[in-house]
Chains A and B, each alone.
Chain A
Amino acid sequence: DAGVTQSPTHLIKTRGQQVTLRCSPKSGHDTVSWYQQALGQGPQFIFQYYEEEERQRGNFPDRFSGHQFPNYSSELNVNALLLGDSALYLCASSLPNMLGHEAFFGQGTRLTVV
């Protein structure tokens, strides 16, 4: 079982650019959530996808958007990047039908905006 995999592991972008991060969930999981972890902080919930739809959303602007594909993999898109978007972006997957509280995380994508 490969667990949750994310790509790329590191990324450097310029202010104003757009970025796409990718995630494949753990086998058997169909719910994918994205979190942002700033330095010295805990992960903050961005949004969650289930059945290819955004089901829940945290307090993040519309510049943050996502997508889930039929194979349950997911993308996180961030437009008009700001310096403050520099963070570790974590993808987590969880049990079907949102029955499980436990989320299983990937290793994250470290995004640096310069």
Chain B
Amino acid sequence: DQQVKQNSPSLSVQEGRISILNCDYTNSMFDYFLWYKKYPAEGPTFLISISSIKDKNEDGRFTVFLNKSAKHLSLHIVPSQPGDSAVYFCAASNTGTASKLTFGTGTRLQVTL
């Protein structure tokens, strides 16, 4: 049972445009959500997170939106840069188990020139 789903395995965006990566979850106990970026031959790198008490969190070019009623979150990257090309993982946890993360299957983002 996949509790965190990323239904788009890949996404291609032109440099300078907006990248939108989507994630859905089924477990209503999740109250904290994170995005990680992964380059080949490296471990995942923490990017941005959001608590369920918020619906938006921004950090520079990265913004995460959370829609609790739809059990949906999205990561916006504006403007997209070639260095953003990587696999992006959505992850979720709950306060009771903190850093035990449940990951989606990832979306490969390619930013083209």
Contact = CB atoms under 8 A, between A and B. Distances in A.
Nearest to B41: A107
Interface stretch (A42-50, A61-69, A76-84): A42-50
Nearest to A98: B98
Interface in A20-59: 31, 33, 35, 40-45, 48, 56, 58
| Chain A: interface size category | 20 to 34
Interface string B72-106: 00000000000000000101010001111111111
Contact of A106 (B43, B101, B106): B43
Given A42-B89, A42-B105, A101-B93, A31 B44 contact: no
B42 interface: yes
Nearest to B45: A105
B99 to A, nearest CB: 4
A87 interface: no
Contacts of B104: 42
Contacts of B32: 101
Contact of B98 (A43, A58, A99): A99
Interface in A65-112: 90, 92, 94-95, 98-108
A44 B49 CA distance: 19
B99 A31 contact: yes
A102 B46 contact: yes
A94 B41 contact: no
B111 interface: no
Contacts of A94: 98-99
A34 B97 CA distance: 14
Contact of A105 (B6, B43, B97): B43
A56 B49 contact: no
Nearest to B9: A40
6 contacts: A33-B100, A35-B101, A35-B103, A44-B103, A102-B34, A104-B46
Interface of A: 4, 31, 33, 35, 40-45, 48, 56, 58, 90, 92, 94-95, 98-108
